[in-house]
Amino acid sequence: MSRGFFITFEGPDGSGKSTQAHFLAQNLQEEGYSVLLTREPGGTALGEAVRGILLGKDLQMSNETEALLYAAARAQHVEEKIKPALEQGKIVICDRFVDSSLAYQGYGLGLPLEELKKINSFAARGLRPNLTFLLDLEPERGLARARIERGQMDRIEERALEFHSKVRHGFLDLAKQERERFCVLQIADMSKEETAAFIWNQTLNLL
């Protein structure tokens, strides 16, 4: 379906995904690559509206509803933004994708993984990343960073530490199952610049 290259950033809250996605996009653009940098949930007008519902604290939401809303935002994102960009030969960098749904709603909330995979494959029309950077960090540290940066937590971040630990181990488990797609970085003792340099080298090797 595509001529481009699809890179995703995954990992717990506050692990540096957005920071690194920006660095990588900038580096690629400086090398002359055509890049789409986008994020989930969001990336489209509908997606950003759904993001508000998902991360806000006003509405009661079952676990199944949460999973379907993430998938709904993703379906629009793939159709409206990601697929067209890949067809134009762009490098698409996405801050979170299907793995986040499996880690948070699957490993974290305990929804059945096989069902989640089906729903998300339907939403993404089977599209899968060529390369996924998993930024691994203890959830305590990531949440503390997010709190310092924004001063408050969203509906998902507010969940208990136990939930965030399950999410972290979920990501690591997913990475073990698909070693050829995942590049796992233990970033606890790495600066932003060191992390960016590692990601840049890895990307150049694989492009």
Ligand X SMILES: Nc1ncnc2c1ncn2[C@@H]1O[C@H](COP(=O)(O)OP(=O)(O)OP(=O)(O)O)[C@@H](O)[C@H]1O
Is position 18 an interface residue for Mg ion (rule: CB under 5 A)? yes
Supply the DSSP symbol for 43: S
First to last CA, the chain: 17
Selection from Mg ion, ligand X, none that 15 binds (CB < 5 to 8 A by kind) is ligand X
Shortest approach of Mg ion to residue 181 CB, angstroms? 21
Please state the closest distance from residue 205 (CB atom) to Mg ion, in A.
25
One-letter identity of residue 95: D
Task: Classify 99 as helix, strand or coil.
Answer: helix
Query: Closest approach of Cβ 160 to ligand X, in Å?
Result: 17
The site partner of 185 among Mg ion, ligand X, none (C-beta below 5 to 8 Å per kind) is none
Is residue 19 a contact point for Mg ion (CB under 5 A)? no
* Strands annotated E in 27-171: 35-39, 91-95, 131-136
How many residues appear in the chain? Answer: 207
Nearer to ligand X, 22 or 79 (CB): 22
Q: Which of residues 117-156 bind ligand X (CB under 6 A)?
A: 145-146, 149
Q: Which is nearer to ligand X, 83 or 96 (CB)?
A: 96
Among 2, 19, 121, 202, binds ligand X (CB under 6 A): 19
Closest CA to 185 of 176, 193, 177, 195: 195
Decide: is 13 part of the binding site for ligand X (CB under 6 A). Answer: yes
Q: Report the C-alpha gap between 95 and 204 in whole angstroms.
A: 19
CA-CA distances (angstroms) from residue 29 to 24, 25, 62, 91, 163? 9, 6, 41, 10, 37
CA pair distance 20, 81, nearest whole angstrom: 20
Q: Tell me the window of 12-20, 98-106, 119-127, 154-162 that interacts with Mg ion (CB under 5 A).
A: 12-20
> Is the torsion defined by CA of 20, 26, 27, 33 positive or negative?
positive
Q: Which CB, 60 or 191, lies closer to ligand X?
A: 191
Using CB under 5 A as the criterion, what x/- string covers residues 78-107 for binding Mg ion?
Answer: ------------------------------
Strand, coil or helix: what is 111?
A: coil
27 lines the binding site for Mg ion (CB under 5 A): no
- Residue 191 interacts with ligand X (CB under 6 A)? yes
Binding site for ligand X (CB under 6 A): 11, 13-19, 145-146, 149, 187, 190-192, 195
